[in-house]
Structure 1
Amino acid sequence: MSDVLAVADHRRGTVRDVSFEMVRAGHELADDLGGDLHLAVIAGDVEGFAADLSLEGVDTIHTVEAGEEFNHDLYAGATAALFEQLAPTAVLMPNSVNGLDYAPAVANRLDVPLVTDAVDLAYDDGLVATREMYGSKVETTLELSEEPFAVTVRAGEWEAVEDRVDVPVEAFEYDFDESASGARVQGFQEVGAGDVDIADAEFLVSIGRGIEEEENLELIEELAEVTGATMSSSRPIVDSGWLPKNRQVGQSGKQVTPDVYLAIGISGAVQHVAGMKGAETIIAINTDPNAPIFDIADYGIVGDLFDVVPALIEQFD
């Protein structure tokens, strides 16, 4: 019992980014344990998803062909059944809406301890899991000596694996009676219908309190247009009604991992940083040289955004 089982996350026919990140987390944990990484793909286009997830670090992909979308009973039952067959030391699930739905049920069925929202994992005579609490103000370390165990992994904390390799794919037979299930997908309602998903953006221009007034959004919109970026914001902008909820980055909004994150007039409160610290390159513009955002920024501009942004627009136009 030294292997790791990770369960992929997908929605509306697309593998979610956290799945590629879980491959990294699972492979590192499997290395610590001296075992293999098994990846489960449940429901939907399992063959297509398996092709997308044939990545370096994955030893075997197990497909469960049942249904098209997420179903609590399917995921909880199939994950528990696969776990019982493989007998791994750990099962990793995404700390997503779906993952948090079925992970407790899996832990309950298997009678194993569950650690949620892990931001780091290691193994040293037991699981060492790092979590953040109180709006990411406090970092805690949990040590579990009991095995096996279950963990949900926070998105944006591990670098996604991109290198593709040939991985054996095995069909796992799981007898699922959808008609007997007490839960099923009735339909989908997109937040901000017709709007973009900032979690998929490669370049985000994000604004905070420093914008001062709603009328000043036009300046940032112009910058986003000339740079090909997508607009997002911190919570105060959404609370003021200046941008819709689906544009909010942070602990109570969306977690994003763009190639470039340009923070304009954002101080860098821990709740906001928790949602964007996984960006590849972070650029900050703020008048306060001591603003916390500069602690994580790769590049910083101490200056008035109303001077800096027009200069940027002129440069890119």
Structure 2
Amino acid sequence: MNQDILICLEVNENGLHPSSLELIGKALELTQPCGGNIFGVAFARNTETLSEELRGLPLRKVYVCPACRTFDAQECAAAVVECVRLLDPSVLLIAGTCFGRAMAPRVAVACRTGLTADCTELERTPEGGLIQIRPAFGGDIMARIVTDHTRPQMATVRPGVMQSCARGGNQVPELCVFNIETSGRIDLLDMQPLKLKAGIAEQKILVAAGRGVKRKEDLEMLEHLAELMGGALACSRALVEKGLLPHEKQIGLSGATVSPDLLLTCGISGSVQFQAGVRRAKAIIAINSDPEAKIFDLAHIPILGDLYEIVPKLIDRLEKKESFD
């Protein structure tokens, strides 16, 4: 049975989207139990630029459809379906970006196969079965889904949860240019880049507030601490549900997946949902007054104590630029 994996590669004016590198890294891992090649399908007009973006990546061949416009999910879906017809892959992976979420259902319907959305982990059996793992029931359980009877096995993957593929060597994957008839239902009149503020997923240092924060006014103290550390303020789901902070500040399965160099949690117990969102953090310091808090199992530096006593002392030392040795 064919064990190949096909990946939808997102390319924009800034080059290859980071989520594509994450999918390639996961695909390389998934080929270990049962073998198979990794193919890509991309939508880019400049193949020379794309070749440089793909240099050193473990892709056997990349199919490029320059006629498709990356903002038109229907056109791109048709190109992906054509690649599925040509390659008959066992697995098809699409990033769970806005574009990927719009395109994936169209591909699944055309291929008459199942689709698991927003996966946070993927595993593969020695026989080639794809175990698609995603949060369910508000993140209270992790569902393990298998597509038994149809191919390809399709999943969209949440950006930021997989390890990016490291480039190796100087080899460029073979590019195969093909075209499909486009519907012409959308005409591009103009393009203007949108300046977006960096979210918590892009921050290198985060201070995360949890249920242990008593009042909204107390968040000013933690925000001041985050500024002194050169980072940003984030939170657990509990504070979003209380209306103390907006959803874009939330870490966890129903929020953002983060991978900062340093994460300082204050009053966060460490639910399964929260831990899933911070597992790629390089260093975690946890402040909690409960010695049984689950966050201590994950923390590199656990601090048992009241955040209202510890945080002011941290702020004082940072303001005085005193050493923490």
Taking only the aligned residue pairs, the percentage that are identical comes to 29
Q: How many residues align?
A: 314
Please identify the structure whose Cα radius of gyration is greater: 2
Which amino acid is 1:109 matched to? A
Q: Distance in 1 between matches of 2:12 and 2:273?
A: 26
Task: Name the counterpart of 1:135.
Answer: 138
Aligned residues of 1:126 and 1:144 also touching (Cα < 8 A): no
Q: Which runs of 5+ in 2 are unaligned?
A: none
Task: Name the counterpart of 1:204.
Answer: 206
Task: Name the counterpart of 1:83.
Answer: 84
Q: Which runs of 5+ in 1 are unaligned?
A: none
Is 1:158 matched with 2:162? yes
Aligned residues of 1:3 and 1:33 also touching (Cα < 8 A): no
Q: Distance in 1 between matches of 2:51 and 2:183?
A: 23
Is 1:93 matched with 2:94? yes
**Structure 1 residues 240 and 94, CA gap change in structure 2 (3 angstroms):** same
Task: Name the counterpart of 1:272.
Answer: 274
Aligned residues of 1:45 and 1:68 also touching (Cα < 8 A): no
**Structure 1 residues 150 and 262, CA gap change in structure 2 (3 angstroms):** same
Aligned residues of 1:115 and 1:150 also touching (Cα < 8 A): yes
Aligned residues of 1:13 and 1:45 also touching (Cα < 8 A): no
How high is the TM-score relative to the length of structure 1? 0.84
**Structure 1 residues 141 and 217, CA gap change in structure 2 (3 angstroms):** closer
Which amino acid is 1:38 matched to? F
Q: Distance in 2 between matches of 1:305 and 1:236?
A: 17
Q: Distance in 1 between matches of 2:304 and 2:49?
A: 47
User: Which is worse superposed, 305-314 or 225-234?
Assistant: 305-314
- Pick from 222, 230, 233 the counterpart of residue 232 of structure 2: 230
Is 1:286 matched with 2:288? yes
1:87-121 deviation line (CA, Å, top 9, x unaligned): 22211112333322221211221223333333122
User: Which is worse superposed, 296-305 or 270-279?
Assistant: 270-279
Which amino acid is 1:22 matched to? L
1:156-193 deviation line (CA, Å, top 9, x unaligned): 44322233443224143223535235x98998997xx8
Aligned residues of 1:61 and 1:167 also touching (Cα < 8 A): no
Q: Distance in 1 between matches of 2:48 and 2:177?
A: 12
